[in-house]
Structure 1
């Protein structure tokens, strides 16, 4: 029992050591830095009331850095003000450099509040996200000591409800092209994802998962969408790589007609590189059945991509490349031929900005080039052959505000411009939506 009590308190003390060795202020005076250093000195002396006072003074002076939020959370924790401690740590979970440490401390908070299941969730996040062997060992030890947690299984659920506006529902040059009086419409969207854990082995976790997505337009109901996903995945750690292997079935319906049904395999690998950086590679292959109405979509689709996360002065930049290969049956009728087997090259960048107040903003840009090896045969009185090429540009911004521990409000806008050498495939689209996300 004495040994247990010692190890029970060892983890918080060890993490505090990590804290003070990791948050040395940067050289060069900045506004509020002197107050921040006073807070550090008070913390080292065990005077956390004074430390909090100094940290808040530093914050009011404009010193608003992750190190301050983290140290402020630790001082609140040491004074048993767990609600305020959790608030500080939660703000750091979106920062790749601090996320693992923040989740570990949120686990400590949950454990003090006698919520072992939530503590287990946070310790597991810390274990999986960290590239620091010491922190991973602390998280593993904390998991092993938790009483009464889900020994072999656990279920999580996330849900989204949103409303929005789509300026180009049919992705067409104009409404007349698709025989619509108005190609823009309002919509309601809802989705849910459920994960059920089958094993408690943190180095080789297995899950069953499912997802449901619905979009209902106000007027253009023939473009209503319903999709369902069911699958199995295994997560494991191999050396410094974090692997996620998945097999799943997708079923997509448009206006209650089956659009696509596919059997998919995907492999994702992530390697933390330290300092909040990482490298990710992924591969996905799908065998697609378009059903009787969309039989020309039957065939294979493969995607191979690589991307990386890089902390910058402006925020956290993720950028990458994806290759997409398609081998579909295509459509041939009345002497005409339409290819649905493009080869696509995509470049993308996504910049997540530091929190501004209670909001977090993400900027996104993407360029995609598509070419179709088999030329189209189009009848305009005579048969004309055209090799289709598309250039698609996407720009978007997403703003998210945390409302509670596991609930957030979001607003999302994106603009797409597709430039094709076949006029019928030219289009521009504006889409804006806002809603609430929740995790349970």
Structure 2
């Protein structure tokens, strides 16, 4: 739908800062969205506005009351955005820090000798936390291997290793290396069929920018996102936790309210920028549908974004105009398959006989921003089994264009060692 509305793509791009030029480099194409998406101009304005306000929440004055109302509105907006009818939202240092905190709490409240389950496709944000706190809490960690060819882990993969004594499970919603999205609802269902009371915690950091989150349908207990990867800014993370995870004993101040999970005075501006993000998705939904309900508009936006990003990655892989696609370039290999329906706006490749860092540098000189993923503590779990030292990650969002894809293909076509 978006690909049929070039004027809407222009309007979308107009809402983002630095959409076609870097303040340090000059004109450039931004295909590094998995490392941090572009920022909405409204978020920039909101951040500046709240940075100047000296008042804190919880005081008896007009400004403080206003700040509390803004925070409550943001939490309500997040509930609509992510479709959460229960539980609570709170902010922390980062998505990674929040994943650690949720996983830690679930592990230390479990009986020693029980199990924690997670998969080899996970980002170390959840995988490291699960393994560390399983060991400290006297739990046994169970690893679910992902499929190297597709970059996926499935409900069937989890089910094969599930036992009733699994008390904590971690799930990755989308991989920042392969770009593949997992079926969180199906995985959670497979877990609960065997261990109904298991605490299930999801890393939604890579998935969030694609606008399709539905917490009520997942039946999980924790979900974390990093706002700088979903059109907001750095400096904080957002988590949602279920009522039963909320109620577990957790780190907090002595005699503080039992349901509180935040530490210290939080930045009201951080919350307010999430309202900006939700408002943006609502606006996109209003442009691609006639829906009047807020949630329906957000769902419509997510569907349109998914379709358009699939169109762009398809053009990247299959070609556009007279330009051959990546699959037809004999010097390029695509990770996780060329026709993978789980792909979410990301294509990772290697160029034959050329270190990925050199490819990224060469593309950068042509004004095309991509990123190297190395077989290190971030990506080794995906690249090592493929026998790769590194790869080039090309990640896009719905503000990217066919013309930008064509420029990338033209640059890669003749790029050889």
TM-score strictly above 0.5: no
Higher strand share goes to which structure?
A: 1
**Could you say which structure has the larger radius of gyration?**
1
Q: TM-score, normalised by structure 2?
A: 0.22
Higher helix share goes to which structure?
A: 2
Q: TM-score, normalised by structure 1?
A: 0.21
